[in-house]
């Protein structure tokens, strides 16, 4: 996967997780709000049921006595829907209050004092004032079909959210005194009582709480997204660091800290192509420590490692910033010299040879021993097609330097023989 594709996939992943977090908190807030609304509705429903139940008990009490007689004082009207609603006694005139009228008068008192409204109604009311509205008619239709014995909803009344409840009224024996003539029997649904009360303040509080919950969850979700992004960025930086370390480990020689053969071949191909494209000189030197096997055999491999580390330092210090230095393998090192002709390459390698001969043993911690190096130098020719040709000529020059006595720099201007390995190469 390319770095661009990887970055794009990573951004999509981060965006998806961020959206998921925000959606999760939003859904959680909505669910909590719905649960809160359901709880509020349940409280309102229980409240309405309680009021309805109280009214039914009061009506049952009234009906059990065949109605209640009250003094017919100023402002007290007779019930026009009853036969002989008034009676004269020694104490004065009394008028009958049956369950329906009692319910209506209690509703009037409750409306002015508590905000509750009751309404007794049926599909065939004796009193036209008890005719049902749309909600009540729909509920009564369900009662008639015995689909349910109660119904409720929230709707606007007088510009305010109102909870409306409707409970069924079943015909009891005491009800037949007034309603038997209409064909009702005990157990029949003969109407219902609707209970209404305003819930504007509670609805406003619910909406306010919903907004607060959404705002809080949004803030929490956004905070988690910010935290997630911060963690992702930190993780990405750490991963980039680890990746760089892995890349470096893949191209860095762990002993000397120089680049390794793999890196060298990649960069050499780049410099080779650049040299051909710009027609600039390109030189390459192969350096190999002389008699290095004796150092390992006589002083031990730790001493040999110290010598290789010291040589790496000398090579790094002796080349230009844009020259390439790498450990090619064993005690063999390569220096790539861009924009450098054969004479310049020979002069630089000679300085390196002198530095190695004069300082390497001391820097490696040896006393009484001289360690030298041989170099083979080659420059790119017009006929070179691949970097291996340049390497082959530098290798041939190194072989000649070894054969000529070591501790010297040899140049190869023409194509050389194949590389040879053997005891005399040390």
Instruction: Residues 261-425: name the CATH superfamily.
Output: Reverse transcriptase/Diguanylate cyclase domain (3.30.70.270)
Q: Specify the DSSP element, H or E, that contains 373.
A: strand 373-379
Beta bridge partner(s), residue 91: none
pLDDT > 60? residue 424? no
Residues 110-120 pLDDT 10s: 777 777 888 88
- The CA distance from 177 to 293, in Å, is 129
pTM of the model: 0.50
- Residue 420's pLDDT is 47
pLDDT, average across residues 264-270: 95
Q: Which range, 193-202, 218-227, 344-353, has the best average confidence (pLDDT)?
A: 344-353
- Residue 11's pLDDT is 74
3-state secondary structure (DSSP) of residue 119: strand
Find out whether 259 and 250 touch, Cβ atoms under 8 Å: no
- Residue 176's pLDDT is 61
pLDDT > 50? residue 77? yes
Find out whether 336 and 320 touch, Cβ atoms under 8 Å: no
Residue 372, classified by CB atoms within 10 Å of its CB into exposed (0-12), middle (13-18) or buried (19+), is middle
DSSP 259: B
9-22 burial: b if 16+ Cβ within 10 Å, else e: eeeeebeeebeebb
pLDDT, average across residues 76-94: 84
- The CA distance from 320 to 283, in Å, is 13
In terms of Cα–Cα distance, which of 347, 334, 324 is closest to 393? 334
pLDDT > 70? residue 363? yes
- Residue 177's pLDDT is 59
- Residue 413's pLDDT is 57
Mean pLDDT value across the chain:
85
Q: Which tokens belong to 323? A: 């020259």
- The CA distance from 235 to 3, in Å, is 17
Alpha-carbon distances of 365 from 223, 323, 425, rounded to whole Å: 59, 28, 25
- Residue 358's pLDDT is 93
Residues 272-306 pLDDT 10s: 999 999 999 999 999 999 999 999 988 899 999 99
- Residue 155's pLDDT is 92
| 68-71 β-sheet, strand order | 68-71, 92-97, 86-89
Q: Specify the DSSP element, H or E, that contains 422.
A: none
More confident residue, 270 or 189: 270
- Residue 179's pLDDT is 59
Find out whether 298 and 368 touch, Cβ atoms under 8 Å: no
- Residue 423's pLDDT is 41
Label each residue of 86-103 as H, E or C: EEEECCEEEEEECHHHHH
Rg, C-alpha atoms of the chain? 52
Residues 366-423 pLDDT 10s: 877 889 999 999 999 988 889 999 999 999 999 999 999 999 999 985 554 544 444 4
Q: Specify the DSSP element, H or E, that contains 410.
A: strand 409-412
In terms of Cα–Cα distance, which of 231, 285, 318, 323 is closest to 412? 285
3-state secondary structure (DSSP) of residue 6: helix
pLDDT, average across residues 228-257: 82
- Residue 288's pLDDT is 97
Residues 384-398 pLDDT 10s: 889 999 999 999 999
In terms of Cα–Cα distance, which of 143, 131, 137 is closest to 100? 131
- Write down the domain spans for the chain: 261-425
- Which residues 6+ apart lie within 8 Å of 21 measured at CB? 221, 224, 225, 228
Residues 157-206 pLDDT 10s: 888 899 999 999 887 666 665 655 566 677 778 789 999 989 888 888 87
In terms of Cα–Cα distance, which of 6, 11, 23 is closest to 232? 11
- Residue 1's pLDDT is 53
Find out whether 292 and 304 touch, Cβ atoms under 8 Å: yes
DSSP 173: G
């Amino acid at each position: 996967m390319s770095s661009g594709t990887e970055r794009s996939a990573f951004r999509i992943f981060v965006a998806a997780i961020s959206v998921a977090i925000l959606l999760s908190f939003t859904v959680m807030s909505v669910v909590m709000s719905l649960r809160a609304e359901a709880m509020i509705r349940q409280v309102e429903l229980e409240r309405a049921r309680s009021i309805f139940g109280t009214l039914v008990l009061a009506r049952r009490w009234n009906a059990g006595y065949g109605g209640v007689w009250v003094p017919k004082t100023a402002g007290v009207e007779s019930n026009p829907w009853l036969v002989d609603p008034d009676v004269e006694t020694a104490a004065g005139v009394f008028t009958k209050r049956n369950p329906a009228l009692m319910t209506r008068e209690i509703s009037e008192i409750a409306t002015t004092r508590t905000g509750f409204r009751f309404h007794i109604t049926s599909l065939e009311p004796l009193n036209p004032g008890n005719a049902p509205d749309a909600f009540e008619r729909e509920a009564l239709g369900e009662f008639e079909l015995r689909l349910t014995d109660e119904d409720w909803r929230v709707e606007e009344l007088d510009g305010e959210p109102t909870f409306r409840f409707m409970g069924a009224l079943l015909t009891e024996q005491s009800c037949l005194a007034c309603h038997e003539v209409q064909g009702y029997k005990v157990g029949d649904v003969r109407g219902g009582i609707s209970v209404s009360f305003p819930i504007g303040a509670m609805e406003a509080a619910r909406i306010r709480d919903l907004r607060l919950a959404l705002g809080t969850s949004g803030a929490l979700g956004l905070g988690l997204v910010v935290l997630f992004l911060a963690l992702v960025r930190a993780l990405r930086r750490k991963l980039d660091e680890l990746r760089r370390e892995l890349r470096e480990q893949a191209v860095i020689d762990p002993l000397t800290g120089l680049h390794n053969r793999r890196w060298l071949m990649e960069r050499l191909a780049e410099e080779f192509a650049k040299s051909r494209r710009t027609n600039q000189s390109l030189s390459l030197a192969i350096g190999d420590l002389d008699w290095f096997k004796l150092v390992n055999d006589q002083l031990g491999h730790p001493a040999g490692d110290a010598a290789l580390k010291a040589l790496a330092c000398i090579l790094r210090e002796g080349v230009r910033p844009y020259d390439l230095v790498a450990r090619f393998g064993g005690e063999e090192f390569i220096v790539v010299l861009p924009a450098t002709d054969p004479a310049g390459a020979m002069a630089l390698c000679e300085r390196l040879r002198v530095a190695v001969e004069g300082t390497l043993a001391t820097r490696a911690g040896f006393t009484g021993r001289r360690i030298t190096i041989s170099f083979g130098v080659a420059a790119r020719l017009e006929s070179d097609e691949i970097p291996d040709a340049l390497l082959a000529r530098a290798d041939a020059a190194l072989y000649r330097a070894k054969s000529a006595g070591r501790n010297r720099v040899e140049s190869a201007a023409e194509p050389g023989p194949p590389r040879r390995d053997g005891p005399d190469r040390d």
